[in-house]
């Protein structure tokens, strides 16, 4: 993602950023934590500025890139992740009350999520796969574009894994909706990578 794509995408999605010299910052209220990416010599540095640290703001979760477009893509995915946090984790989230996979499936359908994004019985590319074992534990995997497991959770009791399945699946769905919109508007010309998806949903 180049600077023009970043500016156009954030404007379309209502995400506020500002460019100051060779840095790009998320626009937040004064003394609120914000994300930034800045040029550091021949490389680019991403960081999260934390105002809760004493005696003053500190940079956290620093990542360095030799390529500007990779740095901006990383910044954009984190910006999306932060902006969708309250939608994925609303107060009194009904997902916490779900007790079985049938209830979870119906809840995901109600959110607009189709079978394209998750399954419990067969593996397909770009989905969240939940594998229920004989002990009623669920092992959750992100299936990447090569139809391989990109990451897999440890098997956990059903109740805990149901919420994790919701979180991963709804996050994937939301990101793919953003991707579809950006492609339709010709702001980007290719789908988000497996790495982008994993960064957003985990």
Range of the domain at 63: 3-83
pTM: 0.92
End-to-end C-alpha distance for the chain, whole angstroms: 21
> What is the domain-level CATH number for residue 16?
3.30.67
Give how many domains the chain has, as a whole number: 2
The CA angle 172-174-180, to the nearest 5 degrees, is: 100
Token duo for residue 99? 């007790």
Could you read off the pLDDT of 38-61 as tens digits, one per residue? 998 889 999 999 987 667 788 999
Residues 175 and 116 in one domain: yes
At 140, is the pLDDT very low, low, confident or very high (cuts 50, 70, 90)?
very high
Q: Are residues 101 and 182 in the same domain?
A: yes
Residues 105 and 121 in one domain: yes
Q: How far apart are CA 139 and CA 162, in angstroms?
A: 10
- Judged against a pLDDT cut of 90, whether residue 68 lies above it is answered with yes
Residues 78 and 104 in one domain: no
User: 132 falls in which pLDDT band (50, 70, 90)?
Assistant: confident
pLDDT at 66: 96
Same domain assignment for residues 140 and 183: yes
């Amino acid at each position: 993602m180049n600077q023009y794509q970043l500016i156009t995408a954030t404007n379309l999605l209502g995400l506020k950023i500002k460019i100051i010299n060779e840095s790009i910052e998320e626009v937040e209220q004064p003394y609120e934590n914000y994300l930034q990416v800045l040029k550091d010599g021949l490389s680019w540095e991403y960081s999260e500025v934390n105002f809760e640290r004493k005696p003053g703001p500190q940079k956290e979760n620093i990542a360095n890139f030799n390529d500007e477009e990779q740095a901006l893509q990383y910044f954009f995915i984190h910006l999306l992740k932060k902006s969708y946090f309250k939608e994925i984790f609303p107060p009194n989230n009904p997902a916490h009350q779900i007790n079985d996979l049938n209830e979870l499936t119906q809840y995901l359908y109600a959110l607009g999520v189709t079978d394209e994004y998750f399954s419990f019985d067969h593996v397909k590319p770009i989905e969240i796969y939940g594998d229920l074992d004989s002990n009623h534990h669920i092992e959750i995997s992100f299936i990447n574009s090569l139809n391989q497991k990109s990451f897999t959770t440890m098997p956990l009791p059903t109740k805990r894994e149901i919420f994790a399945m919701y979180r991963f699946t709804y996050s994937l769905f939301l990101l793919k909706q953003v991707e579809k919109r950006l492609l339709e508007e010709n702001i980007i010309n290719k789908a988000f990578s497996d790495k982008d998806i994993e960064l957003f949903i985990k």
